[in-house]
């Protein structure tokens, strides 16, 4: 039997949490989904840094601080994950989960000190929550968990994919194929140049991910209830941030404006905006690879995708682009999460506090995990095993858009006539130009496919 400010509450005998946590468990039987490991780990880090900082400031006795630090370390390591049962669809500030952490750490600390839970030698509010409020702890834990997930999971996966695409760019560089704009034939391009573009998208994605970490690193810790810092030591947030930076490898620092940092989820909206952009880049790459791999007979057939599994229960020998399909489904979920985070930021920011923090945090962590896993899988099970076929080089010689290279020789209007005749008759541009009196040396010069893939006036002009 546990007791809080609202009275007595029965709690499971083996629980480290107390009455307030049990009330929250009963109040929110919504999804059955508690906060994920990454968030609980970050929350433990905040509580550990708080205890150590409060000891440094002389606000906690050495004995209590050591016990709280040891209990918080167990939260960080995952030993006490089963003690965090509250649904993510709970109080919008995450107060229930902050109280949950305070109770668990206090009871475990009491067990360390006295061998028994519930002694209140270490109090959940007076000691574990010292200099803190749910209103600054929960957003700080959300931001830290997202920043660490981007650093540890997403950026390495994007780098792996960038390297895979860059390797294919070099491998495919000799192959000249038909470029496409508006899904119609355009002037020639190297297959390697296309893959260089994809590698560039991933390079930019890594840059955007790092920029998101910079935003997330400015934490609201120290603002307590409404951003004023009431009941918090003036040096607490700065010193705790230094500890968190060392523990996480993230350049954590106290926000310069606590009123903004606690009243909004702008940093999460911006972070997920970067994730949405990364997802869009991945969609483009996956879609292009899938289209170039259509066939093998009735499609473009310029790429041969790795055969990862049988594609049909009825059609023998069929192979489908399942890795790309997996990627795009993950991205669809990320797009949905982006809308969730945007609505949380827009609708949840009321006066001095945002009250839709838990779901925004969990949606962001899910998006990071999905993008990291699907990027790595796309690199390993699709890009690494791609093979180029002869189809691209075969088609480029038949492309009517080669007529563009004749612009400097016979003019745009005459070149357009040749292009249309090529489409109508199926005869090549080279044949038709020769029939109109263009000399063989001139044709050899302007219809040099490799030269058409470089800048220069002796060849194709602009256009879309």
The residues facing 254 across adjacent strands are 219
Residue (of 381, 385, 389, 428) closest to 405 by Cα position:
428
Whether 131 contacts 231, CB under 8 Å:
yes
- Please calculate the CA angle 414-417-423 and round it to the nearest 5 degrees: 145
Q: Output the six-digit token pair for 48.
A: 């550990």
Backbone angles phi, psi at 250, to 5 degrees: -105, 140
Contact 150, 213 (CB under 8 A): yes
Distance (Å, whole) CA 455 – CA 172: 19
Residue 54, both tokens: 């409060």
Continuous segment of H or E residues that includes residue 183: none
Element (H, E) at 334: helix 322-348
Q: Has 233 been annotated as catalytic?
A: no
CA distance 101 to 440: 81
CA 51, CA 290: separation in Å to the nearest integer? 53
DSSP 8-state symbol, 116 = S
Q: Which tokens in the block code for residue 226?
A: 């409404």
312 is catalytic: yes
Q: What is the DSSP letter of 218?
A: E
- Cβ neighbours of residue 196 under 8 Å, at least 6 residues apart? 166, 169
What is the rounded radius of gyration, in angstroms, for the C-alpha atoms of the chain? 30
Two structure tokens written together for 42: 């970050």
CA count, 13 A, side-chain hemisphere, 139 = 40
> Given 61, 312, 347, 439, which residue is catalytic?
312
Determine which one of 182, 272, 399, 439 is catalytic.
182
Q: What is the DSSP string of 285-300?
A: HHHHHHHHT--SSSS-
Name the phi and psi angles at 272, rounded to 5. Answer: -70, -25
Q: Are 179 and 188 in contact (CB under 8 A)?
A: yes
The number of C-alpha atoms within 13 Å of 291 and in the hemisphere containing its C-beta is 8
Which residues 6+ apart lie within 8 Å of 360 measured at CB? 142, 265, 268, 340, 341, 344, 345, 348, 354
Task: Show which residues are catalytic.
Answer: 182, 312
């Amino acid at each position: 039997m546990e007791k809080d400010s609202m009275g007595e509450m029965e709690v499971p005998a083996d629980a480290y949490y107390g009455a307030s946590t049990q009330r929250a468990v009963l109040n929110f039987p919504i999804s059955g989904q508690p906060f994920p490991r990454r968030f609980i780990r970050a929350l433990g880090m905040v509580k550990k840094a708080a205890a150590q900082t409060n000891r440094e400031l002389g606000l906690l006795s050495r004995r209590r601080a050591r016990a709280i630090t040891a209990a918080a370390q167990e939260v960080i390591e995952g030993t006490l994950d089963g003690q965090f049962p509250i649904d993510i669809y709970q109080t919008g500030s995450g107060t229930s989960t902050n109280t949950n952490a305070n109770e668990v750490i206090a009871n475990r600390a009491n067990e360390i000190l006295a061998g028994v839970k519930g002694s209140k030698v270490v109090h959940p509010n007076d000691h574990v929550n010292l200099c803190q409020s749910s209103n600054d702890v929960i957003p700080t834990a959300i931001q830290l968990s997202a920043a660490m997930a981007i650093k540890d999971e997403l950026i390495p996966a994007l780098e792996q994919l960038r390297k895979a695409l860059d390797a294919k760019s070099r491998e495919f560089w000799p192959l000249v194929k038909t470029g496409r704009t508006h899904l119609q034939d355009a002037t020639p391009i190297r297959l390697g140049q296309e893959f260089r573009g994809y590698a560039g998208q991933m390079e930019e994605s890594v840059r955007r991910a790092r920029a998101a970490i910079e935003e997330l690193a400015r934490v609201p810790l120290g603002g307590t209830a409404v951003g004023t810092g009431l009941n918090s030591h003036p040096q607490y947030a700065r010193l705790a941030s230094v500890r968190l930076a060392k523990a996480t490898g993230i350049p954590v620092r106290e926000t310069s404006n606590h009123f903004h940092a606690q009243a909004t989820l702008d940093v999460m909206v911006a972070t997920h905006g970067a994730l949405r952009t990364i997802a869009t880049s991945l969609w483009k790459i996956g879609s292009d690879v899938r289209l170039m791999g259509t066939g093998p007979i009735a499609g473009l057939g310029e790429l041969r995708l790795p055969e990862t599994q049988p594609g049909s229960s009825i059609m023998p020998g069929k192979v489908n682009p399942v890795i790309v399909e997996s990627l795009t489904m993950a991205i669809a979920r990320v797009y949905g999460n982006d809308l969730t985070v945007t609505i949380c930021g827009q609708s949840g920011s009321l006066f001095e506090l945002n009250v839709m923090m838990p779901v925004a945090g969990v949606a962001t962590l899910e998006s990071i995990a999905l993008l990291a896993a699907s990027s790595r899988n796309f690199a390993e099970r699709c890009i690494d095993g791609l093979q180029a076929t002869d189809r691209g080089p075969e088609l480029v010689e038949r492309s009517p858009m080669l007529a563009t290279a004749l612009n400097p020789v016979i003019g745009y209007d005459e070149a357009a006539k040749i292009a249309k005749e090529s489409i109508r008759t199926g005869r090549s541009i080279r044949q038709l130009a020769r029939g109109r009196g263009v000399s063989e040396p001139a044709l050899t010069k302007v219809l040099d496919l490799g030269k058409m893939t470089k800048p220069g006036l002796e060849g194709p002009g602009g256009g879309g």
